[in-house]
Structures are given as structure tokens and as C-alpha cells.
Structure 1
């Protein structure tokens, strides 16, 4: 099939989609963007990624780092710290993980201690879009984490009328009915059910992915059983809940994680990032902050590599300042947030995760070097390191010559394996060498 200009359908589709890898410059893309696409990419670079990022259930309460979706340097355009898909003015930009989907899903598994890519789905998922698989993995992680201890059962108050009491006697309601000439008693009881707003959102999101993923084994056995129980209560096509209903539902300390799973489900269903028509002129998208995943992966591996206390430094509770006013000691400038602290009173080590490559023409970026020195000096950490994902068997020059000595600290530049056990082993070796 061809259009009026004689182009095949495949050619028309390819013009509407540009597929690139994260942190890969335009010079190394599979094809160079046309002039029209260059203008379109400039518009995407002006978009805030915040409405499209779906990392909330992994992040916890700390504030995310916001960077542009795209940036331009001497080599042209390149994607920054996000992977995913942005559909803007009828065209689609797909940003794939340069380290592969298995690596990213492995990080999510490590962070949440759940298996987010079922072994039974490893082969059947090949026919599915990479971004669909990543989004499904993030959603699976959220639901599996929420359901580790309980399903989202909520209580609803039910009133009964009759000659016997079912639950608790409602004295006021009984008195009103007696005054109106009715006999009998009014009683109330709490009936607990899975038919509620959070469960409905999760069931609908499951249906959403089931229509887009190849095969029927993408959930894995545990998630399959959980969804079956929820679907039995809500029905296969429950009414779409509002975000207000999800947030105001009653949660116990055991079921509170279902709120985040339901909010993620609602966001996926509301935005419908995978179902927007290609001709839609509006902007839709879904992004995963892969740099934040790397940070949390490093944090968890550090926790397994040392017996000392490990804290996540990217919070308001753990921060320092580059300088303090001598006139007014309460005034500071340059707030510092290292990603990982090891030890407390005093701090034994600190690490900052960098998702970028270590090496190349510039080696360690000057701003990263100054940042690490500022961290180690401010927090008086005897050892400090920048942690990069390993992408080559050969060690970069900055790592081969590590550690580096300053007046106060010993600095290292580490490329860590992207697989959990090997990453923990290398960190254990690094801690043992100091």
C-alpha cells in the first residue's frame, strides 16, 4: 500500500517515529533527523518531563531531579536521563535503554526485592514494544510490592433493619424509626471487600497491559493469582475510579502501598500513553527516570556490601552546605545531597551515582570531580566515590589510577557491574581496600 506520493506504508510509519538510545548523541543514532524533525525535537526539548515520569513508587518521598528530555551539544541532539516514549504533534520519540531492558528490569527487581520480569514471559515478550515492556515491569513491581502482605481490602458500613442486631446497635437511627411508627432495630456492621477504588484501578490497568503484551504469561504466577482475586470482586470491567476516590480510600498500615500502585494504574489509564493514535496532535508520553533507578540500585547494593549503616542521602534529612555566612551563621549557600552515606557519627564513606559513561574524550567530567571533592570535604568523609555503570571489560583510565588522594579524602571513580551479585562483590572489595 502506498500514499499519493508513492511512499510505502512502512516508510510513512518510520517517518512518524524516531527511535534512539538514552545518553547517545545524534552522531551515533541509526539515522539523522530531517530538518522538520530537528524543529520537532527542539519543541520536545522545551517540554517539562515531570508530567510524564512514573518513578514515584520507587522514589519514596524525596524530590526528583528534573532535567530536560533532550539536550544539544557539539555532536547534536542526545537524550538525557529518561527512557520511554513521547508522542507530540503526530510524531513519536522512543528512547530505549542503551543497557537493555533486562538490565533495567533487573534494577527494579533489586530495588523492590520482587521479580518484575517473569521467567515464563522472557520469550513471549519479544513481540511487544520495548517501552510497553518497561512500563509493564514498573507497574508489576508496584503491584507486587503492594501485595506482599495483603490485598487492598476495604471496609464499607452496611445498615440492617429487623428484630435482631447485626453488628452494632445504631441507637439514634432506631429511635428515629420508632418515632416514625416503625418497629424493629437498626444496626450497622463493617463489611470488608476487595470491591473498591484501588482494586478497580489495578484491575483496569491489568486489562490495559493484557491487551498489549504477547501471550498470557506476562504477569507471572503470583501476580496472576492476585489479579484473579481482585477481578472476582470488582468484575472484569469495573467502573474507572477517580483519583480522589483512590487517595481518600481507607488504607491500613499493611495496605498503604496499594495507594501508590492504584495511583500509578490510574495515571497509566488516564494518560493512555500506549494507546494514543499516531495522528493525535496533542502531547502524551510515559518516561522512566533511569538515572534514578541506577541511584537506587547502587544504594541497595551498597547496603548488601557493608555491615555499617547505609543512608539514602537524597533527602531533606541528610544534607550539607558548601558555605556558611560568617555574618549570619543561619545563612548558607550550595546545598549538597550525596546519594549514599555509609556509617554515621562519623561518616565512613559516601558515594554518588552517575548514570553517564565514565571515559571517552573527557574522562571524568570536571563538574563531577568538583562535586565529589565538595561532598567529601563538607561531610568529612575519608573515602568517596562516583559510581558509574560498567559498559566495557576494560577499565577507564580514571578508575585504573584510582584511588586519588586529596588533602582530606581518598577519591575513587568506579564502574560497577549492572548485575546485583557482581555489583555487591565489587563494592565489598572496594570497602575492604580502605
Structure 2
């Protein structure tokens, strides 16, 4: 099968090879596909509807992948989208977000590009299972009946009466037995087998997951029957095992779609995508929580939203709901962050839409300081960051590139919060650039 490999958010002119005419038409077909059926989110998103962007976009520099990494198989060819920041960076974000080590170090250094998606999928799945198993394994109650001369559990009066009527002298009783042989455990065991076949020899589980799976395989066997999604959702969960539903649903989705290989030769369209922009947002959220003692709110959960306009006739009527990613402080908001998984800098400067979005957020929430935050690159701070903060009537606006490693990201956010708060209360000097200048520069580029 033909395989075409690119990096996310990388223009066509920087690809390892240029697509042929037939591949150009094939990429155009992929660009028309909705990414929704292929995106695995592992229940990481907020309560509002997640942002949906096309898998591929096209501009003056040609094709480029958007916010997703993964594989799409379409009409006999495979498009593989690798993370431009490297698999270690992405798995590090997942580890930070869920506070678990998602891939042992031995599994992160494979040079086989086809295994990158496998490892990232395994990372999401492993994080989901380890998070679910922090307090208990997916043990569910099962009512078991028995008969004899002694009662085990509770006496079944109706059952005993039927036995006596049939000429037997024993007693019927029922007891609740908690078992690991259930729908969520079956799905998890099968998903573990699925990844183990594709990551053989990489010691990808780690000690803790090995212990969990040994217990579950003893109860279910190594090849249990795949449960239906309805069986997983209707299984009985206690408050401490409720997270196993998420792990089981993710397992079922992976097994049902089989994105890593069964139908590789047919002409159908299937695959798997991971929303890296969502992971970057949640990574920044976690780092912000460590960078300050103030309350930190995930604005995209739907519980903290603002509005672009409010009616003077009926104040309950609003227009233009706003969902910034991260709010720091509570009544009033002291700082606001919006994560952008893209490059900052270049000939175009700050994207005009992003600039207006940040200004609207700052104005609506009356945040004295606000920032768009981007992943850091090796080229150093771009001009927009070196000239930050930018004063506007809404407040002090900054454009930051943050390190992709947790400790350094936390340190830079803490420093920004301290220095920007001081700059926000000082009038702009002759060296300070204005928001109007930024808009004009963007429009001229």
C-alpha cells in the first residue's frame, strides 16, 4: 500500500517529498472528509462541543495538515501525520495532563515511523486505564444462587418453596459475588492484547499496568468475547470504578475501528486521529495551575463563559458566547490564557483572527492581562513576544511561546504572571507597541 508521511502544521514546500498529480487529487479528497469519525479524544475535552477543523487545509504554500496527528487510509493509500514536535513531547503532555507515565522510556525511541501512531494510541489508552485503576479495578456485582442445607448469603424464600414442592429438602440462597469478569474488563483485556501484538518487545506497559492486566486476564481469560458498547455503558459501576467506563469505551472504539490494520487493502476510508491542539491546551492548563496560587479555571468546560454583547433592553439576552481556554483568579479574573497549537512569528505576524479573539476575551472578562500561548521552537522568541506586553484599551496583551517540558513551562508562566501584572498597571512608554500598530502590521502583511 502507498504511504504518504507528513508532519502536522508543516507547509507542503517543507515536506520530505512533493505529492504527484494523483496524490494531489487524493489529498483533496481527504480534505473533504469530516475528521469527527476518526478522532479519539479519550474523554479529555470539556463539556462544550470540541473544535472541528478539516484534516488538511490549503493556502499559498500548498497543503498542510491541521491540528491532528494519526493515520487516514483512503482509497488504497495511507496518509500518516506525525507530530512535528516529536512523539516524546506529545506523550509527555499526556503524562502531565493525567499525572501518569503513559509510555516507559523504552517504548518512545522506535525509529519506525509507522509505529508512531501505534505508540500514541497506546499512550492515550494506557493513560486512561491507569487513571481508572488508581483506586480499584473494574469489579462488578453478580448475584449467584446456590442450594444446600445451609444458607449462603440471603435465603431465597420463593426458590426454597419451589424446591420443597419438587420434593427436595435443601434451602435456596443467593449471594452477591464481585467479579472482574465483566464487559468493561473484557474490552480492556482485548485492547491490551491488541497493542501487545503491535508493540511486542517494547515493554510498553510498565509495572503498574502489568499488575492490573494480570488480575483482569485471570478473571476474563486472554481472549474474552468483545462486549457491545451498550453492555459497557449499562454495566454497574460504583463511584470509585466509574472511570473504567471511559477506559472501556476507548478500548471498544479502538477495537471496533481497528485503525491500525485489518482493512488495509480495501478501498474504504478508515483511520485514527489525535487532536494535538486539545492536548496542548490541557498541558498549558495543568502548568498554569502549578504556576500560581490563584484559582485556575478551564474556560472551555462551559461553566465559565463570557459574551461579546449584552442587550441594554433585556440584560438577560446576549450575543457571541466566548470560551477562553484558561482563566486565572476568580471575581475578578486576574489573567486569561488562550492556547494556540501553531507557530508564532513569521511574515504574517499574529493571525488577525487570533488577535481579535484575544482582545474580545480580555474586554469581555475584564482581565488586566491576557495572552495567546504557543509551543516554543528552537528559533528563539519571535518579535511579537519580545515586544510584549502590548497595551490596549482592553488590557495588556501578550504573545508567549512556552517550553514543551512541564518544569520550564511552569517557570515561564510564573515569571510572565509576575512581570505582566506589574506592566499592566504602568502606562505605556515610548518603547511599548500599541495594539493598533499590531493590527495594521498584520493587515499589511
Task: Give the TM-score taking structure 2 as reference length.
Answer: 0.91
**Mapped contact 1:58–1:112 kept (Cα < 8 A):** no
**Mapped contact 1:276–1:284 kept (Cα < 8 A):** no
Counterpart position of 1:51: 37
Counterpart position of 1:376: 362
Counterpart position of 2:428: none
C-alpha deviation, 1:34, in angstroms = 1.5
Could you give the per-residue CA deviations for residues 347-406 of structure 1, whole angstroms, max 9, x where no partner exists?
A: 111100000100011111111111000000000011101010001242100000000111
Mapped partners of 1:409, 1:60: distance in 2: 27
**Mapped contact 1:156–1:192 kept (Cα < 8 A):** yes
C-alpha deviation, 1:176, in angstroms = 3.6
Counterpart position of 1:163: 149
**Mapped contact 1:120–1:220 kept (Cα < 8 A):** no
**Mapped contact 1:399–1:415 kept (Cα < 8 A):** yes
- Provide closer, same or farther for how the CA distance between residues 416 and 222 of structure 1 changes in structure 2, counting only shifts above 3 A: same
**Mapped contact 2:68–2:277 kept (Cα < 8 A):** yes
Secondary structure at the counterpart of residue 212 of structure 2: helix
Structure 1, gaps ≥5 residues long:
1-12
Counterpart position of 2:390: 404
- Are residues 1:351 and 2:373 paired? no
Counterpart position of 1:226: 212
C-alpha deviation, 1:61, in angstroms = 3.6
- Provide closer, same or farther for how the CA distance between residues 40 and 120 of structure 1 changes in structure 2, counting only shifts above 3 A: closer
**Mapped contact 1:384–1:412 kept (Cα < 8 A):** yes
Secondary structure at the counterpart of residue 129 of structure 2: helix
Mapped partners of 2:137, 2:46: distance in 1: 20
**Mapped contact 2:47–2:302 kept (Cα < 8 A):** no
Structure 2 counterparts to residues 239-278 of structure 1, below 5 A = 239-278=225-264
C-alpha deviation, 1:62, in angstroms = 3.8
Structure 2 counterparts to residues 319-338 of structure 1, below 5 A = 319-338=305-324
Mapped partners of 1:49, 1:405: distance in 2: 38
304-313 vs 39-48, which deviates more?
39-48
- Provide closer, same or farther for how the CA distance between residues 216 and 191 of structure 1 changes in structure 2, counting only shifts above 3 A: farther
Counterpart position of 1:238: 224
Counterpart position of 1:33: 19
Could you give the per-residue CA deviations for residues 128-184 of structure 1, whole angstroms, max 9, x where no partner exists?
A: 611111111111111111111111111111011122110011223323433444432
- Provide closer, same or farther for how the CA distance between residues 322 and 61 of structure 1 changes in structure 2, counting only shifts above 3 A: closer
Mapped partners of 2:370, 2:46: distance in 1: 25
C-alpha deviation, 1:334, in angstroms = 1.1
Secondary structure at the counterpart of residue 274 of structure 1: coil
Mapped partners of 1:96, 1:428: distance in 2: 31
| Aligned mate of 2:127, from 129, 141, 148 | 141
- Are residues 1:131 and 2:144 paired? no
Counterpart position of 1:431: 417
Task: Give the TM-score taking structure 1 as reference length.
Answer: 0.94
Counterpart position of 1:19: 5
| Aligned mate of 2:86, from 91, 94, 100 | 100
Counterpart position of 2:381: 395
C-alpha deviation, 1:326, in angstroms = 3.0
| Aligned mate of 2:290, from 293, 298, 304 | 304
C-alpha deviation, 1:186, in angstroms = 1.7
**Mapped contact 2:371–2:400 kept (Cα < 8 A):** yes
- Provide closer, same or farther for how the CA distance between residues 36 and 120 of structure 1 changes in structure 2, counting only shifts above 3 A: closer
**Mapped contact 2:33–2:54 kept (Cα < 8 A):** yes
Secondary structure at the counterpart of residue 381 of structure 2: coil
Mapped partners of 1:181, 1:143: distance in 2: 51
Counterpart position of 2:178: 192
Alpha carbon RMSD of aligned pairs, Å? 1.4
Counterpart position of 2:65: 79
C-alpha deviation, 1:60, in angstroms = 5.0
Counterpart position of 1:315: 301
Counterpart position of 2:169: 183
Mapped partners of 1:277, 1:159: distance in 2: 44
**Mapped contact 1:101–1:130 kept (Cα < 8 A):** yes
Q: Give the 4+ runs in structure 1 shifted more than 4 A.
A: none
| Aligned mate of 2:407, from 407, 421, 424 | 421
Could you give the per-residue CA deviations for residues 225-244 of structure 1, whole angstroms, max 9, x where no partner exists?
A: 11111111111111111111
